[in-house]
Amino acid sequence: MHRSLLTGGSPVLGGVSVDRIRVRGGRGLQGAIAVSGSKNSALPILAATLLVDGPVRLRNVPYLSDVDNMCRILKALGMRVDRHANGDLELEAVDKTVQQAPYELVRTMRASFVVLGAIWARRGQAVVSYPGGCVIGHRPVDLHIKGLTGLGGRIVTRDGYVVLTGPVQGGTVFLGGNYGSTVLGTANVLMAAVLGRGPSILEGVAMEPEIEDLCHFLNACGARIRGIGGHCLVVDGVDNLHGCEWTIIPDRIEAGTFLIGAVMTNSPVTVMGARPEHLLAVVDRLQAAGAQIESGPDFLRNLPTRSGRVAAVDMTTLPYPGFPTDLQAQFMALMAQAKGVSVITEKVYPERFIHAAEMQRLGARIRREGPSAIIEGSDRLTGAPVMASDLRASAGLVLAGLVASGHTDVRRVYHIDRGYERIEQKLQDIGADIERISDG
Ligand code: EPZ
């Protein structure tokens, strides 16, 4: 067994943590809980450093196994990656001849497919493994491919790899799909476009704050992107990018998870470092359910209510600025103990409901109807051993454990370590009865 070098985190066996998290429910929470840097902003920005000539210094990069994985891939791609004592990550391309991202590395994390556009644009050709299947549902990469082809790329599939060649000409591409736009697809195409020979118009792009952060980072390195934050990005290609220092935005999904936990336990909790403007849809649903939420420029606070339990409200996940799919499991945990019946509809990943069966093991009354779940709230959840299926599902199960009587053991904690930095310590610090138990 060894400890992760970059995260300094939990013990891992063959790369997989053998821990479980035990939560004893029924305790109120109190105090301030700090949000870490955004995982889903850090990952594409890390990939974007492949485009840059000279060192890049990134602040507020969370200590997560997904970040470790991306760093491992970047090292295999000839990057120098150093974590400084103060937590900053410094990256610099030292060997710009490597063009191939191997299956063994890409299969560990789908997000690594986002290196494709950057390798192609900076190194002339990219050979990147297709990421393969995913537990949260069908996750094709057709929009990535369409966008890169639209910029002039020639693509063939060879032995499970995408081989992308030809100069980045630039062009006009439309990135909308049946389920909205694509976050990592937008990042992939944008990274190629910034070094394009000609201008590009990317229409129907994802408007997630993580894409906005990537755009601002690239501009700080000398890229010329306009329309940031909107549905159409206009990019004037430049010859090269230079290094910069950049601070990753706070993680809106982690912030939303803590806020939902505070509402579930009816606790006075301040989520520090949260950007309320990134969580408008979430606060809207929580307020509709009867929660009292206060906000300031960099915090969100739950105020306890007299009634304690919230009312059931319907919720539909949508691309940003809609309610994020990455908070669907956590919201389901809330609705499982709400007063009344709610309907949760998944419009981003219609199959992302594996956690529902695990929540049923805690006594939650949940029924699937196609892309929806119908939840009959109950104040009698009881602890049980449960299995995490993905990282947001794990967070939903931890939240359910906070209100279930007895104890809940969440197994396969390696999922949660992918996206939540020291979650058990952070929750402990505000009064939760939660611990990590090592089975190793
Ligand atoms: C990002 O994944 C996030 N990952 C996911 O978070 C998040 O759930 C998702 O966006 C949606 O918000 C990272 O940022 C690293 P998409 P991404 O392409 O970009 C369909 C987490 O837990 N689609 O925006 O891969 C797709 O099937 C992770 O942190 C196509 O049809 O998601 C889905 O229905 C899980 N063709 C929808 O679009 C494509 O080529 C949105 O997916 C690409 C996507």
The residue type found at 124 is G
Atom of ligand 1 lying closest to residue 113 CA: 25
pLDDT-based confidence at 11, cuts 50/70/90? very low
Mutate to test the pocket of ligand 1, among 70, 139, 207 (most ligand atoms within 8 A of CB): 139
- Helical packing angle, 183-193 and 209-220, nearest 10°: 20
- Residue among 147, 144, 143 nearest 202 (CA): 147
Split at pLDDT 50, 70, 90, the class of 18 is low
The arrangement of strands across the sheet holding 224-226 comes to: 172-174, 200-203, 232-236, 224-226
Higher pLDDT, 39 or 17: 39
Q: Is the dihedral of CA 271, 277, 281, 284 positive or negative?
A: positive
In the reported structure, the alpha carbon of residue 103 is separated from the centroid of ligand 1 by a whole-number distance in angstroms of: 20
User: CA 266 to CA 264: how far, in whole Å?
Assistant: 6
Q: Long-range contacts for 314-318 (Cβ within 8 Å, ≥24 apart)?
A: 314/342, 314/343, 314/344, 314/345, 315/285, 315/342, 315/343, 315/344, 315/345, 316/344, 316/345, 316/346, 316/347, 317/344, 317/345, 317/346, 317/347, 317/348, 317/349, 318/180, 318/281, 318/347, 318/348
Among protein residues, the one whose CA lies closest to atom 43 of ligand 1: 141
Cα–Cα separations (whole angstroms), residue 50 to 9, 77, 127, 187: 26, 8, 14, 13
Measured distance CA(199)–CA(177) in Å, rounded: 23
Collapsing DSSP to helix, strand or coil, 390 comes out as coil
- Among candidate residues 52, 20, 405, the one with its CA nearest the CA of residue 195: 52
Complete edge-to-edge strand list for the sheet that includes strand 126-129: 100-101, 126-129, 161-165, 154-158
As a residue count, the chain comes to 440
What is the full DSSP assignment across 111-134?
GGGGHHHHHHHHHS-EEEE-----
CB distance 102 to 72 below 8 Å: no
215 classed as catalytic:
no
pLDDT digits (tens, 9 = 90+) for 255-299: 999 999 999 999 999 999 999 999 999 999 999 999 999 999 999
Query: From CA 263, how far away is CA 413, in angstroms rounded?
Result: 24
The Cα–Cα gap between 79 and 312 comes to 49
Q: Are strands 172-174 and 200-203 parallel, antiparallel or unpaired?
A: parallel
In Å, the largest CA–CA distance within the chain is 64
Q: Of 213-217, 273-277, 395-399, 435-439, which gets the smallest average pLDDT? A: 435-439
User: Which strand (E) or helix (H) includes residue 255?
Assistant: helix 252-264
- Return the amino acid letter for 37: G
Q: Which atom of ligand 1 is nearest to the CA of 320?
A: 12
Assign 25 a pLDDT band (cuts: 50, 70, 90): very high
Does 10 have pLDDT greater than 90?
no
pLDDT in tens, 380-419: 999 999 999 899 999 999 999 999 999 999 999 889 999 9
Tokens at residue 275, please?
Answer: 């950007």
Rounded-to-integer distance, Cα 162 and Cα 229, Å: 29
- From the CB of 391, is ligand 1 less than 6 Å away? yes
Closest CA relative to residue 338, chosen from 266, 281, 234, 279: 266
From 71, 134, 215, 244, active-site residue: 134
Q: What is the DSSP string of 256-274?
A: HHHHHHHHHTT--EEEET-
Coil vs helix vs strand at 403: helix
Q: Which of 8-17, 102-111, 260-269, 325-334 shows the lowest per-residue confidence on average (mean pLDDT)? A: 8-17
Q: What is the dihedral sign for C-alpha 19, 23, 24, 28?
A: positive
Q: Which of 112, 107, 111, 113 is nearest to 132 (CA)?
A: 107
- Atom number in ligand 1 closest to CA 138: 27
pLDDT, mean of residues 183-212: 98
CB of 251 sitting under 6 A from ligand 1: no
CA of 421 to the centre of ligand 1 (A): 21
Residue 138's pLDDT band (boundaries 50, 70, 90)? confident
Residue ranges and CATH numbers for the domains of the chain are: 12-34+250-438 (3.65.10.10), 43-247 (3.65.10.10)
Q: If you measure from the C-alpha of residue 93 to the centroid of ligand 1, how many angstroms do you get, rounded to a whole number?
A: 27
